[in-house]
């Protein structure tokens, strides 16, 4: 019995201070608790932020790359290429649909990361018009300098023009909608 009480009170059983935050009532909250389904506002922020981000980002990509002559199916297959490599272009509509699914998985993941961090750092929610664009820029460089480089996707030479287009798209179509959805649902909850 004494051992059980010791384990319950042991500081070793507590999450490190850097992974917790205090709620207004003084309770400790971990990132996992921040995304708890008992708090539907976090889930709604992720769902709406990810959905809006996904729709805006893929629409912008289709418009921009379409203006360069790329067909929508080929663009979506290119996204699936992160998993499949060059053989993605032999898969027809099925690999295009896989690319669309991957795109939305990434959008919902980006929203989930922002919501989790925003629950622990309220300034991100309070200053969404600043933190959102900065988050969009961070997502762009993380995707292009880490994810794409580690994936099986075809690597293209660096282009300042395409980088600037990508950063602008990520500011307005990724970071800002995710931040505003998080602010909308989490500040009211």
Sign of CA dihedral 65, 66, 71, 75: positive
Q: Which residues make Cβ contacts (< 8 Å) with residue 66, sequence separation at least 6?
A: 72, 75
Please list, in sequence order, all residues whose beta carbon lies within 8 angstroms of the beta carbon of residue 84, skipping any fewer than 6 positions away.
Answer: 91, 95, 98, 152
Can you give the pTM of this predicted structure? 0.80
1, pLDDT greater than 80 = no
- Residue 13 predicted with pLDDT over 50: no
**pLDDT value at 9 more than 70:** no
Alpha carbon distance 151, 144 (integer Å): 10
CA atoms within 13 A on the CB side of 150: 5
CA angle 6, 10, 15 (to 5 degrees): 150
Annotate 90-110 with b (16+ C-beta within 10 A) or e (fewer). Answer: ebeeebbebbbebbbebbbeb
Does residue 21 have a pLDDT over 70?
no
Give pLDDT, residue 14.
45
């Amino acid at each position: 019995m004494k051992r059980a009480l010791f384990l319950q009170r042991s500081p070793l059983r507590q999450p490190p201070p850097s992974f917790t935050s205090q709620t207004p009532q003084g309770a400790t909250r971990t990132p996992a608790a921040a995304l708890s389904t008992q708090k539907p506002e976090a889930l709604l922020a992720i769902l709406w932020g990810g959905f809006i981000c996904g729709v805006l980002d893929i629409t912008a990509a289709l418009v921009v790359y379409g203006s360069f002559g790329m067909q929508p199916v080929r663009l979506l297959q290119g996204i699936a290429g992160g998993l499949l490599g060059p053989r993605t272009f032999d898969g027809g509509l099925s690999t295009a649909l896989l690319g669309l699914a991957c795109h939305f998985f990434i959008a919902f993941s980006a929203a989930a990361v922002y919501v989790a961090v925003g629950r622990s750092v309220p300034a991100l929610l309070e200053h969404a018009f600043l933190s959102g664009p900065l988050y969009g820029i961070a997502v762009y460089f993380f995707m292009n300098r880490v994810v794409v480089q580690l994936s099986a996707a075809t690597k293209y030479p660096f282009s300042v023009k395409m980088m600037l287009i990508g950063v602008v798209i990520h500011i307005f179509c990724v970071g800002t909608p995710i931040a505003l959805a998080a602010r909308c649902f989490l500040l009211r909850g």
